[in-house]
Structure 1
């Protein structure tokens, strides 16, 4: 049985990592339309073309929309083109995020501003734009899912810019759940632990750091993007129809491993 049959799903940052894994899983679970956002440079252009071919082979229709998520106009374009192609949006996965690791005392203001603009401002823009569409479409409603992080609950010496944006994203979804419930819109957050993606590829090249992070988990391995895609699809499905304002930690047990 498919979990998301005939759903129209919008995913930001879909060309790689968690976004890519979510796109493929939604297609496998019966989604009929996918709106795939990507940055739009040469590298992500190639990535999204390859992903589009894979998704189409699974039976879903696809449109791809480029743009910097930190720009308000990008979110407007994503929604406009998605509705033009499919008539509605049932699910949003707000996934775009950056983490240029930096020491707090030496962090340039530009690093703080860009991280906030992409992670928090971009999330707000796309969540609001999709929610406005969901509140007016017939039938009304939908599922908003934001990819946050356990970094919003914990500290990291080189994440004094990143962690606060993720804490804010988790709280944003809680507030959106309160604001949007009357429209039949559910809002939830997924908080990954250490997932092997491009966001931490350079950091995890340090063998000692990688071994430490693996040992912190209870399952003895780092996460992969597919580990996050499953919970995301669950939140989008009718199996989670009574879940809103929730925050799901998906980290292999890292957060609870105090000792």
Structure 2
């Protein structure tokens, strides 16, 4: 079943982890073109080229754009390049994010500022830029999915800078649902639990902590990037055509497992 047949999908932070998994899942379900944003350093350059080759081998067109998502010029560039290549944007997955674990009392202000710039400012910039494009496509509209986190709902000792940004993304999607509904644009948030990606690779290298996090889940395992990709495609598809302003917790039962 082609859930997103012929849709043009834009994904930020697409070179690895959840972003990459989403790209591949959209291809599987019929997307016609992908606009892939990546940071632009040596590592992400190689990763996005690999993804581009894999996707284009399956007959799906791509446009790739490098840049700091915390800079509003990057969001403008993503939309400009995407529209020049494909003429429209049907889906946005605002995924780019960082989580440099740090103690609260000794955290340099630069760590707070950079985390906010990438996670929250970057989400605002790309959502605003893409929403303005989607508005011109009315009544076709579009679907915007913000990758928030279970951390929007609960705290973490080394995440006093990170959790507020993820709560902000959740709130941003709720308000954008209200602001953009009249243009046929839906806005929803995905809240991943503990997903094994590069963002927490170092933290989960502590086997004691990893085992603890596994035991905290109801399903008895950490999440993988493709566990998030399926729900993202669902929210992008017409199966979710009356879903907006919602938050979908995808955490293997971590949040509800009090005991």
TM-score range, shorter chain: over 0.9
- Kindly report structure 1 stretches of 4+ aligned residues shifted beyond 3 Å: none
User: Is 2:136 the partner of 1:132?
Assistant: no
SS in 2 for 1:4: coil
TM-score for both structures, normalised by structure 2:
0.99
Q: Partner of 1:209 in structure 2?
A: 209
Q: Deviations over 1:204-232 (max 9, x none)?
A: 00000000000000000000000000000
User: Is 2:149 the partner of 1:149?
Assistant: yes
Q: Partner of 1:26 in structure 2?
A: 26
Q: Partner of 2:9 in structure 1?
A: 9
SS in 1 for 2:176: helix
1:44-193 correspondence runs (5 A): 44-137=44-137, 139-193=139-193
Where in structure 1 are there 5+ consecutive unaligned residues? none
Are the equivalent residues in 2 in contact too, given 1:22–1:233 (CA < 8 A)?
Answer: yes
Q: Partner of 1:227 in structure 2?
A: 227
CA RMSD, 1 decimal: 0.6
Are the equivalent residues in 2 in contact too, given 1:27–1:59 (CA < 8 A)?
Answer: no
Q: CA deviation at 1:59?
A: 1.9
Are the equivalent residues in 1 in contact too, given 2:139–2:184 (CA < 8 A)?
Answer: no
Are the equivalent residues in 1 in contact too, given 2:138–2:184 (CA < 8 A)?
Answer: no
Where in structure 2 are there 5+ consecutive unaligned residues? none
In 2, Cα distance between equivalents of 1:57 and 1:3: 20
Moved more, 217-226 or 52-61: 52-61
Q: Deviations over 1:111-139 (max 9, x none)?
A: 00000000000000000000000001255
Q: Would you say how many aligned residue pairs link Structure 1 and Structure 2? A: 259
In 2, Cα distance between equivalents of 1:152 and 1:144: 18
In 2, Cα distance between equivalents of 1:237 and 1:107: 41
TM-score for both structures, normalised by structure 1:
0.99
Are the equivalent residues in 1 in contact too, given 2:14–2:37 (CA < 8 A)?
Answer: yes
User: Is 2:258 the partner of 1:258?
Assistant: yes
SS in 2 for 1:88: coil
Moved more, 75-84 or 54-63: 54-63
In 2, Cα distance between equivalents of 1:208 and 1:156: 17
Q: Partner of 1:247 in structure 2?
A: 247
